[in-house]
Amino acid sequence: MSETLRTTMEFFLDDCSMEVISERQGINVATVKSRLHAARKLVVECGRKGVPNHV
Cα 39 to Cα 45: distance, rounded to the nearest angstrom: 10
Handedness of CA 34, 40, 44, 50 (dihedral sign): positive
Q: Name the DSSP letter for residue 25.
A: H
**What is the arithmetic mean of pLDDT over 26-54?**
88
Query: pLDDT band for position 37 (50/70/90)?
Result: very high
**What is the arithmetic mean of pLDDT over 22-38?**
97
Among 27, 28, 38, 37, CA closest to 1: 38
Whether the full predicted model's pTM is greater than 0.95, yes or no, is no
